Chains A and B, each alone.
Chain A
């Protein structure tokens, strides 16, 4: 089996990151902004500073690259195409979303509604971003 095409992982990853950034902006920057501030206040913490936004944007692009790398890594097992991209997105969701949620749940750090909704949104967002990124991933036959 050939090597992973890293150039295409980067290209697809940036596109996947774009999808993640758009969804994150709408959710955490607009719809849930007040809820997040209230959750932080409940922990006696200040609202998340706007100066952290560039880091979150960059992290979404890194995450996009991780998603497409995962797609490329499992592609020889499941074959190229959107089905494999969904598998890759689901795998990353299980690791970064679901297990994280289950691990943090007993600590009660976040309001249940935000934690559950955030995990469920990620369940849709991760496969969707991977499908978009995987579309631009190619390998020599």
Chain B
């Protein structure tokens, strides 16, 4: 099996990152922003609303996009190239990043259950969609 095409992982990852950041602003903003701010405020915490912090999270979106496309590339020989494998990669990342973390953190009662559910619904939509776009850019030599 050939090596992962790292250049295409980065290129596809940046495309996935654009999708993630847009979807996070739209879906995440609509679904979770108010609950999230309220939950942090209830703990006496807040994320500073500064351009630097916005850049921090946008950058994190691009890093996550690259991880999504790397995951797609890594499982591609197993499941074959194409959108089905991209969705599997997105769902696998969602399980590890979103679902299990939410299940582990929910009993601590730090964040409201509703917020865990809403964030996971958002990621369940965002991660496979972003991987689909990134995987569309990813190429390998035959």
Contact = CB atoms under 8 A, between A and B. Distances in A.
A77 B44 CA distance: 47
A27 interface: no
Interface string A31-44: 00000000010011
A73 B74 contact: yes
Contacts of B109: 45-46
Contact of B43 (A43, A46, A87, A95): A43
Contacts of B93: 95
Interface string B51-66: 0010011001001100
Interface residues of A, number: 40
Given A43-B43, A48-B107, A76 B48 contact: no
B96 A44 contact: no
A108 B104 CA distance: 18
Given A99-B60, A109-B110, A66 B100 contact: yes
Given A77-B4, A95-B93, A108-B45, A59 B103 contact: yes
Interface of A: 1, 4, 40, 43-46, 48-49, 52, 55-56, 59, 62-63, 66, 69-70, 72-79, 87, 91-92, 94-96, 99-100, 102-103, 106-109
